[in-house]
Structure 1
Amino acid sequence: MAVTWTQHRFSGGALALDAANTVVLRGDAARTFDRFEDPAEIALFAEAATNFRAEELGGRALAVADPHRIAPTVLAIRETTDELFREAAAAEGTIRTASLPAFLEACAAGLRGHASFAMAPEKLFGDPETPIALEAALAVSALSLLSRVRRLRICRNCNWLFIDRSRNGSRLWCDMAVCGNRQKARRHYRRRKPVTEEHEHA
């Protein structure tokens, strides 16, 4: 299924969370689907992320040489990231050590075989003058989440993972303009429905 990689698809607040959120409606067996089912979408995701994640990436472009070849590595990082940090978000910032080995192995696979680069807190992704392989960038982004685990949340509307950057840490939705408005519309409908039904049966 073709995907339009809009800004909303990058509401997670970190590249690795945006990738985790490419599985839509996790936990709903009847309606879930995978936006990376066609590996060609991985390259399109990287192209869009270069733009929408420019600040996180420090202006470094994402590169995908062969989406079919890297798909197993990308999916391994995606799934272990979702498992580890979804558990952490649900447990209010507690990391389960049992989930760490698979996550670290997936991140190591993403970094393996790529040119080394210097990482610093203000420049995690290295030299912005040269592209970085998507799988390596996903690994760096995922590893950086370990220091922000207490800010991870699960959207009350779509079930996506996101970083809560609000001052008091009380944000409920990944995207106020989309999920927040949908929840408000549902609440408004539920409040009005009994009144409407009463008038219809009067």
Structure 2
Amino acid sequence: MVVSWTPHRFTGGMLALDTANTVVLRNDPEKTFDRLKDPAEITRFAEAASGFRAAELGRPLVAPTPEKIAPVVLSIRETTDRLFRRAVSKGAITTGDMPEFLEACADGLAQSRTEIGRPGKLFGNPATPIAFEAALAVSALSLLRGDTIARLRICPNCSWLFVDKSRNSSRLWCDMAVCGNRQKANRYYRRRTAAREVTNV
């Protein structure tokens, strides 16, 4: 199935979180599914992320051989989700989760021969593309900053991870237009149903 990589798919706030969120409904074993199950979607996701994450990346992404990089991408995705989902739940990072996460990120960087970390340009030279798996590793590692960890959230509707970039750190939903409105509609429906039941008693 071809995925429509809409703006809503990039509400995590950072490339690594958007990638972690390509597994939908992780908290529901019966409904969960993986949008990157077809490796070809990695290329399409990278193309979309080049636009939607342009401010974060500062350079385009390339994923020329998705079948080859798929194991590395999925490893970074899963270890990132596990590490930071637990960090949100516990309020701190669990050191036991770190080695696997760091190994996955190292694998993502291993084949890259690009310079990163210039002042103001975390992802390196904006004039040249960067391999998707390398950019994903850099984004995942940048989540370790204390100020970022403090702003990580889990959407109560869809269970996606996101960075709360609101001024007063009060953002509740990954996307107010989607998850926020769904929750409002559900609450309204429950109130109406409860009111009808009381009336019919």
1:174 aligned onto 2:174: yes
Q: Deviations over 1:39-97 (max 9, x none)?
A: 00000000100010000011x110011000000000000000000000001112x0000
Q: CA deviation at 1:143?
A: 0.4
Q: CA deviation at 1:151?
A: 0.7
| Structure 2 partner of 1:63 | 62
Q: What residue identity is the alignment partner of 2:114? A: S
Q: CA deviation at 1:17?
A: 0.3
Q: Deviations over 1:122-170 (max 9, x none)?
A: 2111111111000000000000000111110000110000001122222
| Structure 1 partner of 2:84 | 85
- 1:115-130 counterparts in 2 under 5 A? 115-120=113-118, 122-130=120-128
Q: C-alpha distance in 2, partners of 1:2/1:33?
A: 13
| Structure 2 partner of 1:155 | 155
Q: What residue identity is the alignment partner of 1:175? A: D
| Compared CA separation, residues 154 and 121, structure 1 to 2 (3 A) | farther
Q: TM-score, normalised by structure 2?
A: 0.95
Q: C-alpha distance in 2, partners of 1:167/1:56?
A: 18
1:104 aligned onto 2:102: yes
Equivalent in 109, 112, 115 of residue 114 of structure 1? 112
| Structure 2 partner of 1:145 | 143
Contact 2:88 2:152 (8 Å CA) reproduced: yes
| Compared CA separation, residues 34 and 141, structure 1 to 2 (3 A) | same
1:193 aligned onto 2:193: yes
| Structure 1 partner of 2:9 | 9
| Unaligned ranges ≥5, structure 1 | none
Q: CA deviation at 1:19?
A: 0.4
Cα RMSD, aligned residues only: 1.3
| Compared CA separation, residues 79 and 195, structure 1 to 2 (3 A) | same
| Unaligned ranges ≥5, structure 2 | none
Q: C-alpha distance in 2, partners of 1:165/1:45?
A: 23
Q: CA deviation at 1:192?
A: 1.2
Q: C-alpha distance in 2, partners of 1:197/1:184?
A: 20
| Structure 1 partner of 2:23 | 23
Please state whether the residue corresponding to 2:153 is helix, strand or coil: strand
Percent identity between matched residues is 64
| Compared CA separation, residues 121 and 27, structure 1 to 2 (3 A) | farther
Q: CA deviation at 1:12?
A: 0.3
Q: What residue identity is the alignment partner of 2:194? A: P
Q: C-alpha distance in 2, partners of 1:121/1:184?
A: 43
| Structure 2 partner of 1:164 | 164
Q: CA deviation at 1:197?
A: 4.1
